Structure 1
Amino acid sequence: MPAPAAISADQFTHLLAITRALAVTTELDALLRQIAESACAMLDCERASIFLHDSKTNELWTKIALGSKEIRVASSAGIVGAAFSRNELIHVPDPYNDPRFNPEPDRRSGFRTRSLLTVPMSDVDGKPIGVLQAVNKRGQGFLPADLLLAQMLADQAGVAIQRFRLQQAAVEGAELRREMTLARDVQQALIPKDPPRVPGLLCCGYTKPASITGGDGFDLWACADGSLGVFLGDASGHGIAPAMVVAQARTLLRSLCELQTDPLELISRVNARLTQDMAAGRFVTMFVGIVDSSGLLRWSSGGHGPILLQRAAGASVETLDPPGPPVGVLDPFLGDATEPVRIEPGGRLVVLSDGLFEAFSPAGEQLGIAPIAELVQSFTGSPEGLLAELQAMVLRWQQKDEPKDDQTVVIVQREL
């Protein structure tokens, strides 16, 4: 390789200037254009192109090809592909005599490629992330000093592009965390801070998301007629979108409940709205119950179950199966009407999301519904006490605090 003395003072000055400029540029298009323009100025060539590697398609593509249109090629095709795949500089004094050169773009445009200098741009680990290509040295072919300059510029450009990508990833990560934090705050704000007071009934609820935001949600509220409203929803997936879907379902339900309290009609109306709003393949399983002070439970479920029912203190625990499909799939809702159920003093209703009974042990075994049903039957204390025992059971089974799936439970108990 030629000695650094072969590079002029003006070229060194230009290289230092572009290095400083690349360090502060925050827009990718502007960054690439600066690299291409600097290549043309420093190497005294007619055109310059910046090819970036697209890892998804394994192609090299360029938005910045000064004097040309966008080009996209396979990462191993042609001269740029050879420079990228071999991670080495390629100088072609006469492209038309090189079998790797594709003359078709020249024929279409009327341009004549006389010489090419193609240099891989690498990150700090030496891994190629793209290619810088200079076209047609003015007056003569590319000189040994040009090869050194091009490599130095490509090295600076590769690091600048890597830095830009890392900065973008950090910004996007921060924005995503902020969005998820906002979604979590919205979701948490919808969870009742204190159980509603309905004469003759005790209730509580709990939710633990598998990520910063979860696809589960619940609500407990006092209806206008003095009865207790119960909602538990589980949207498919995790993250912001399912959290917002459950929040929407809960808000719709609470608004509709001001007008009527028939659970099947409520789910049908929520289903009509969500079917229009939700993306294909998305759905929500949903339980809705209305319990009055005498313990009469009117209920419906869109794909959510099993629901555990203990009709009286010490009674065996039954399971109620959902009478309809998940919500948001088909309109109209194809759920059947259910018979009201009487909860006697000491009896209770327990509605769970599948993240609880499908909790995994370290050995990969699921907890199952039977141990939970046994706990519900044997426990004689308050809803809060039963909730604490259930949480402890699941934690012992998982042997870790972070669940694999969102875990939500609502308990309603008739006072003795």
Structure 2
Amino acid sequence: MSDHAQDDAATLRRHLDVLLGITRRLASEPRLDPLLESIAEETCNLLDAERATLFLYDAARDELYSRIATKSEIEVIRMPADRGIAGSVARTQACLVISDAYADPRFNRDIDGRTGWRTRNILAVPMTNLQGNLVGVLEALNKRTGPFADADATLMRALADQAGVALERARLLEEFLAKRELENEMQLAQRIQADLLPEAAPPIDGFDLAGWNQPSAYAGGDLYDLFPWGDGRVGLMLGDAVGHGVGPALLAAETRALVRAMALREDRPERILADANRLLAADVEEGRFVTLALAVADTADGTLACASAGQGPMLLVRSDGRTERFLATGLPLGILPDAQFGAAEPIRLESGDAFLLISDGIFECETAGGKELGFDAVVETVRNHRDGSAEAMIQALRALTESVCPSERFRDDRTVVVVRRT
């Protein structure tokens, strides 16, 4: 074997040993951010480059994105997947060797301006997964010993193949862990939400009471309660803490506790809403709020007083089939500390009359055709079951939603509270 051939063989073995070491190091790092740093570092070492940049491919947005160090901060840049040198590589999945970056019209000079760095030459290669799908583009910048050569492209393509597989594995792991964390959070939120619900309606002479809540898969912040208010009265509340997950569930729990405590010393629902609102507005973070309907029914005279903080409509169904809607009024709790809440005129419930608090998850659920069920369908169903018990009305509404709305379309909690005078 000639000396030249021996040198080539030695170089090849050395490169293979280096690539094998890189492969092992990349395989040992399951986290995405450290993996990105490792790939950039290994690229610079392997190709004697001053810097390396990784552009990851966002298939959902058909964009390439990368984190760059500007003069003042770490900044994420995004661009269409067909723009620039990286975009050209992404589209063709072929290597590009650029000997003079500023002479190439595809080069984006703005990035140099933001980083305070000057790019001279570039070697760019695609990164793909085992199925050959694009994962991103790897760029080596400014070879210290001259321009990039074909041998550099071969080496970097081998490195990029390993990097693409490692990145895909890390991305899938991140997605799995994020999904598991979300599932754990949702399970916790659902447990909190379940603990808010009354085990049974309190026995109150002259009234038939029932409540029902079916959390969505997204664990919203619906709450309801039925509780003795003292002196032969019963309290009814239904609310919705905005959002999904643990945060709204905890806010719903706080709201329920506040209202219950205030009902021990205050008779009028609108005053309780005002007091609870002041406390919540000072306590909850911006963007969090609760809609709430609060009512009190009195067994002595059959009257019902109610107030709303952005929650409604509420529904009155008379024994003869007449109905009346009470629309949502007032701001949700937790937005403006000095908000005031009005009260509707007291309603006198006669025998067979029913008053319902209904969450928007009932009448806004989507039918198979993608349309909302609508409140009219709710009214008609309750009217048709007005001679039944409070529980029978709830079961009729439950059956209605489940008959017209496929289960996968229940993206919000369904909650109903009924008080019916016997």
Smaller-chain TM-score bracket: 0.7 to 0.9
Cα distance per residue 1:349-369 (max 9 Å; x no partner): 222123323444434363533
State how 1:16-415 maps to structure 2 within 5 Å.
16-43=20-47, 45-53=48-56, 55=58, 58-63=63-68, 72=77, 74=79, 78-93=84-99, 95=101, 98=104, 100=106, 105=112, 113=120, 115-137=121-143, 139=145, 141-276=147-282, 284-294=290-300, 295-310=302-317, 314-322=319-327, 324-328=329-333, 329-363=335-369, 364=371, 366-369=373-376, 372-373=379-380, 375-376=382-383, 378-398=385-405, 400=407, 403-415=410-422
| Aligned residues of 2:308 and 2:343 also touching (Cα < 8 A) | no
Question: Which AA in structure 2 matches 1:287?
Answer: A
Equivalents in 1 of 2:329, 2:239: separation in Å? 14
Equivalents in 1 of 2:355, 2:158: separation in Å? 72
Deviation at 1:187, TM superposition (A): 0.7
Paired residue for 2:4?
none
Cα distance per residue 1:375-408 (max 9 Å; x no partner): 4465433222232233223333336585354321
Equivalents in 2 of 1:112, 1:283: separation in Å? 50
Partner of 1:356, secondary structure, is helix
**Distance 1:16-1:265 versus aligned 2 partners, 3 A rule:** same
The CA RMSD measured in Å over matched residues stands at: 3.6
Paired residue for 2:5?
none
Deviation at 1:219, TM superposition (A): 0.7
TM-score (norm 1): 0.82
Equivalents in 2 of 1:399, 1:111: separation in Å? 58
Deviation at 1:264, TM superposition (A): 0.9
| Aligned residues of 1:6 and 1:145 also touching (Cα < 8 A) | no
| Aligned residues of 2:224 and 2:238 also touching (Cα < 8 A) | yes
Partner of 2:266, secondary structure, is coil
Paired residue for 2:12?
8
Equivalents in 2 of 1:401, 1:62: separation in Å? 37
**Distance 1:236-1:212 versus aligned 2 partners, 3 A rule:** closer
Deviation at 1:235, TM superposition (A): 4.2
Equivalents in 2 of 1:168, 1:155: separation in Å? 20
Partner of 2:375, secondary structure, is coil
Deviation at 1:72, TM superposition (A): 5.0
Question: Which AA in structure 2 matches 1:325?
Answer: G
Partner of 1:10, secondary structure, is helix
**Distance 1:394-1:27 versus aligned 2 partners, 3 A rule:** closer
Could you tell which deviates more after superposition, 211-220 or 237-246?
Answer: 237-246
Could you tell which deviates more after superposition, 172-181 or 319-328?
Answer: 319-328
Unaligned runs of 5+ in 2: 1-7
Equivalents in 2 of 1:109, 1:345: separation in Å? 80
Equivalents in 2 of 1:78, 1:377: separation in Å? 66
Question: Which AA in structure 1 matches 2:14?
Answer: D
| Aligned residues of 1:220 and 1:228 also touching (Cα < 8 A) | yes
| Aligned residues of 2:101 and 2:119 also touching (Cα < 8 A) | no
Cα distance per residue 1:113-162 (max 9 Å; x no partner): 4x532222223343433332334545565444332111000111112112
Could you tell which deviates more after superposition, 201-210 or 322-331?
Answer: 322-331
Equivalents in 1 of 2:182, 2:109: separation in Å? 45
Could you tell which deviates more after superposition, 388-397 or 8-17?
Answer: 388-397
Deviation at 1:191, TM superposition (A): 0.6
Partner of 2:42, secondary structure, is helix
Cα distance per residue 1:183-232 (max 9 Å; x no partner): 11101110111112233332110112333312422111123445211101
**Distance 1:330-1:319 versus aligned 2 partners, 3 A rule:** farther
Equivalents in 2 of 1:109, 1:375: separation in Å? 69
TM-score (norm 2): 0.81
Could you tell which deviates more after superposition, 352-361 or 259-268?
Answer: 352-361
Equivalents in 2 of 1:110, 1:393: separation in Å? 65
Equivalents in 2 of 1:334, 1:40: separation in Å? 64
Question: Which AA in structure 1 matches 2:56?
Answer: H
Unaligned runs of 5+ in 1: none
The alignment of Structure 1 onto Structure 2 pairs a total of residues equal to: 404
